[in-house]
């Protein structure tokens, strides 16, 4: 298939090697097509200038303003001892505020001639602070002469596009480069099927590119955005629809549970009835398992909604049908916990081949990297002979040496922590592709699920099982109200006196290995000049101070696995009153007697992470308490985030708040195996309808023509989206 030559043209041929090099290195732009898809971040209106009053410190900005006055000063310096040093100070204004520009040395001559009072220009540079006033030192600038032929051309129309720029390349230089390549936009192949484009009243791709880079009116920008959002949503959904289609063609062994086998025996043992949600989701899963192509299902549920129970029943169904099931957990602590809870839930049904094992029993083995050689060899033997129906492990399961007798189902816990390659390697261990169930406890808004996990069918568990207690959450403003923090420790003591236990969570470990390079400071950290609180320090302070006399232990990721397990066992057994930990306890830790959690420096955690941590308490019959300790001032965005977490227990609501604050690039980046996010104008949360409609359209297009033979433009766009890295990513699923 012929690719579009004009858009494939490398930038160094069109713009010259120097500019092309900067564009490639700093903006990742290599071809004419890449540059045409580098859209303006916003537009300046001729009459409306950026407010100088709102300039952010330490950021590269582009402002349009008028010179109010310019003064040349002489001064003495090491280089110019006789007072021959020159400094040009220019004050610019835009009606909202004033800003000082400074030029030094031989750099003063040109601006001194050009930046006369009354001149209007665009200025770009990094905002710095000098003598407590904001300034731009040696800014690049471009005069706005309303009359000269060239600039009338360049700044055609009333809207000036401002591009995402870097220190090495100002916005207007990018703008000029785009003007150079804009004629090529006429040759852009349209990825949208014509019927779809016309049916929805969208402009053509060449017209959209023209309007986004050279708009004459705001309506032009709106037309271009509407069109380009559809491109992004549709091309991504076609990629996912093709994957669903390809998966549906793969053969798999149908796995139907025996009517009076292991699953039935397990259900008879259950001391409680499943919630309606668990029954509904289980039915969806069993229906999938019974088909002859592989199940691909995402099971997402609130913290504590009983996902593990649903997954276990699916695993038992597969064992019933003669297959094996593997559960992949992201950490050893979690794998050990899942193993313990599965063995507890199954009782004698987990004692296959042992005296006292039940008639339908199977073996449940654990496989992790830190196991002793003998235990490991035995576990691997049980897998290859088929003796073990269920295996729970970390990525040690993926190693080449691990062989299965007949792998029928793979359950992946906490999907976002697993590389696609790892999922793929495990899937490759079945004689035919096994069924796949992906679980996540971080609730994902529906649109994100459609965009990120669009190749998986989704099941949602949103009701909590009976007997789960409510969790009260409060923000503790330690800086404004120190007595609130003292009260927090009193509350922990009260819980312990009532026979319960507590967690204290800190952002870092605090041993010397903490790498200072990793601890990059955010603006908020800078504001308070203090590193995040550490487990080892806090545990020490608590044991000697407010929690003196209580059994306090620590748990973090750098401890030896045996030590971690011992600490967890003592905590689970109730021997430890307070566990001071990092986020290693974020997922899967289940100690029903733990009722209180204090999260130190809570503002350093994301919304979803706080929700996840909070789910560790209130797992028994007693009510849970979660205290979010912060030193952030009341009006800060960090405090608003914490207030949101304290105000609702609805994880889906919180995940929306989280996304609106973080931009979805993070979410997609994480899910797209680190491939750059392809979304430039599409906003996952705002454009919910477009994504849902694009998914329907994409599914229909792929059903009708899986190879897209009739749509060369769409194939070109797909090839661009799925460069090699993503092609592999999508192949592997």
In this prediction, residue 728 has a pLDDT band, given cuts at 50, 70 and 90, of very low
Least confident of 486-500, 602-616, 672-686: 672-686
CA atoms within 13 A on the CB side of 153: 6
pLDDT, position 81: 65
At 498, give phi and psi (nearest 5°): -85, 10
Please give the residue that has the higher pLDDT: either 221 or 171: 221
Instruction: Report the alpha-carbon distance of residue 60 to residue 162 in Å, rounded.
Output: 12
Least confident of 137-141, 450-454, 593-597: 450-454
265 pLDDT more than 60: yes
Cα 532 to the center of its chain, rounded Å: 22
Q: Are 51 and 63 in contact (CB under 8 A)?
A: no
588 pLDDT more than 70: no
678 pLDDT more than 60: no
730 pLDDT more than 60: no
pLDDT, position 549: 93
pLDDT, position 725: 44
pLDDT in tens, 360-380: 789 999 998 888 899 999 999
Q: What is the 3-state secondary structure (H, E, C) of 197-264?
A: HHHCCCCCHHHHHHHHHCCCCHHHHHHHHHHHHHHHHHHHHHHHHHHHHHHHHCCCCCCCCCCCCHHH
281 pLDDT more than 90: yes
625 pLDDT more than 90: yes
In this prediction, residue 158 has a pLDDT band, given cuts at 50, 70 and 90, of low
pLDDT, position 667: 45
pLDDT in tens, 92-139: 988 778 899 999 888 888 899 999 998 888 887 888 888 888 888 888
Please give the residue that has the higher pLDDT: either 1 or 251: 251
670 pLDDT more than 50: no
Please state, in angstroms and as integers, the Cα–Cα distance from residue 346 to each residue in 123, 318, 587, following that order: 70, 15, 22
Least confident of 121-125, 341-345, 357-361: 357-361
Q: Are 362 and 312 in contact (CB under 8 A)?
A: no
pLDDT, position 543: 92
Least confident of 28-42, 47-61, 266-280, 519-533: 519-533
CA dihedral 393, 395, 401, 403 (to 10 degrees): 50
731 pLDDT more than 80: no
Counting residues of the chain whose pLDDT is more than 70, the rounded percentage is 84
326 pLDDT more than 90: yes
Instruction: Report the alpha-carbon distance of residue 733 to residue 731 in Å, rounded.
Output: 6
Mean pLDDT along residues 299-324: 88
pLDDT, position 523: 42
**Which tokens hold the place of 76?**
């003495």
599 pLDDT more than 90: yes
514 pLDDT more than 60: no
pLDDT in tens, 681-723: 777 777 878 888 999 999 999 999 988 888 888 888 887 776 6
In this prediction, residue 82 has a pLDDT band, given cuts at 50, 70 and 90, of low
Q: Quote the pTM value.
A: 0.68
33 pLDDT more than 80: yes
* Eight-state DSSP code of residue 370: T
Least confident of 155-164, 260-269, 405-414, 566-575: 155-164
Instruction: Report the alpha-carbon distance of residue 378 to residue 429 in Å, rounded.
Output: 19
pLDDT, position 677: 46
15 pLDDT more than 80: yes
470 pLDDT more than 70: yes
Across the chain, what does the average pLDDT equal? 82
Mean pLDDT along residues 630-642: 87
493 pLDDT more than 80: yes
In this prediction, residue 148 has a pLDDT band, given cuts at 50, 70 and 90, of very low
Counting residues of the chain whose pLDDT is more than 90, the rounded percentage is 31
pLDDT, position 668: 46
Instruction: Report the alpha-carbon distance of residue 521 to residue 545 in Å, rounded.
Output: 30
């Amino acid at each position: 298939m012929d690719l579009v030559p004009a858009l494939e043209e490398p930038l160094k041929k069109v713009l010259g090697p120097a500019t092309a090099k900067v564009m490639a290195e700093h903006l990742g732009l290599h071809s004419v097509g890449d540059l045409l898809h580098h859209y303006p971040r916003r537009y300046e209106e001729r009459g409306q200038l950026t407010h100088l009053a709102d300039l952010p410190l330490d950021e590269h900005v582009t402002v349009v303003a008028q010179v109010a006055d310019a003064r040349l000063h002489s001064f003495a310096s090491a280089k110019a001892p006789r007072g021959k040093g020159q400094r040009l100070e220019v004050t610019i204004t835009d009606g909202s505020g004033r800003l000082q520009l400074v030029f030094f040395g031989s750099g003063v001559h040109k601006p001194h001639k050009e930046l006369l009072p009354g001149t209007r220009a665009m200025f770009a540079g990094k905002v710095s602070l000098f003598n407590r006033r904001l300034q731009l030192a040696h800014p690049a600038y471009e005069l706005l002469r309303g009359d000269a032929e060239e600039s009338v051309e360049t700044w055609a129309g009333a809207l000036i596009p401002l591009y995402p720029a870097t220190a090495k390349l100002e916005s207007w230089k990018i703008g000029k480069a785009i003007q150079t390549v804009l004629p090529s936009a006429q040759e852009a192949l349209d990825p949208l099927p014509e019927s779809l484009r016309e049916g929805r009243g969208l402009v053509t791709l060449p017209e959209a590119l023209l309007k986004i880079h050279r708009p004459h009116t705001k309506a032009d920008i709106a037309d271009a955005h509407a069109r380009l959002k559809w491109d992004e949503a549709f091309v991504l959904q076609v990629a996912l629809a093709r994957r669903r289609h390809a998966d549906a063609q793969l053969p798999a062994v149908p796995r139907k549970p025996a009517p009076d086998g292991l699953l039935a025996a397990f259900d008879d043992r259950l001391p409680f009835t499943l919630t309606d949600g668990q029954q509904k989701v289980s039915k969806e899963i069993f229906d999938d398992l019974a088909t002859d192509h592989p199940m691909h299902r995402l099971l997402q549920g609130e913290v504590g909604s009983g996902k593990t129970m649903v997954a276990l029943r699916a695993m038992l169904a597969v064992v019933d049908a003669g297959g094996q099931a593997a559960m992949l957990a992201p950490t050893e602590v979690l794998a050990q916990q899942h193993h313990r809870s599965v063995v507890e839930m199954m009782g004698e049904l987990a004692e296959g081949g042992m005296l006292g094992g039940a008639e339908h029993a199977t073996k449940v083995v654990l496989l992790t990297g830190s196991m002793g050689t003998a235990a490991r060899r035995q576990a691997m033997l049980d897998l290859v002979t088929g003796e073990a129906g269920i295996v729970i492990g970390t990525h040690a399961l993926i190693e080449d040496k691990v062989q299965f007798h007949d792998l029928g189902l793979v359950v992946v816990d906490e999907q976002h922590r697993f590389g696609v390659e790892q999922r793929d390697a495990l899937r490759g261990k079945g004689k035919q592709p096994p069924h796949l169930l992906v679980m996540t406890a971080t609730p994902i808004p529906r649109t994100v699920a459609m965009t990120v996990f669009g190749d998986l069918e989704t099941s949602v568990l949103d009701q909590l099982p009976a007997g789960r207690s409510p969790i009260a959450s409060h923000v503790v403003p330690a800086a404004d109200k120190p007595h609130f923090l003292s009260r927090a420790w009193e509350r922990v003591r009260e819980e312990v006196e009532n026979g319960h236990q507590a967690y204290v969570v800190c952002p870092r470990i605090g041993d010397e290995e903490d790498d200072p390079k990793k601890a990059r400071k955010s603006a908020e950290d800078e504001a308070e000049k203090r590193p995040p609180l550490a487990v080892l320090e806090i545990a020490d302070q608590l044991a000697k101070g407010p929690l003196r006399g209580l059994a306090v232990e620590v748990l973090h990721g750098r401890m030896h696995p045996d030590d971690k397990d011992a600490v967890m066992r003592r905590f689970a057994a109730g021997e430890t009153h307070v566990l001071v930990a990092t986020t290693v306890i974020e997922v899967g830790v289940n100690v029903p007697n733990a009722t209180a959690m204090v999260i130190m420096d809570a503002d350093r955690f994301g919304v979803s992470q706080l929700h996840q941590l909070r789910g560790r308490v209130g797992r028994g019959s007693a009510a849970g308490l979660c205290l979010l300790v912060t030193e952030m001032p009341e009006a800060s965005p960090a405090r608003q985030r914490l207030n949101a977490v304290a105000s609702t227990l609805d994880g889906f609501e919180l995940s929306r708040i989280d996304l609106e604050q973080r931009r979805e690039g993070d979410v997609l980046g994480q899910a797209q195996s680190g491939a750059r996010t392809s979304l430039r104008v599409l906003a996952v949360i705002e454009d919910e309808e477009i994504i849902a409609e694009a998914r329907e359209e994409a599914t229909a297009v792929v059903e009708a023509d899986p190879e897209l033979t009739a749509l060369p433009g769409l194939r070109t766009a797909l090839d661009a989206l799925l460069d090699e890295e993503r092609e592999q990513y999508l192949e592997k699923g």
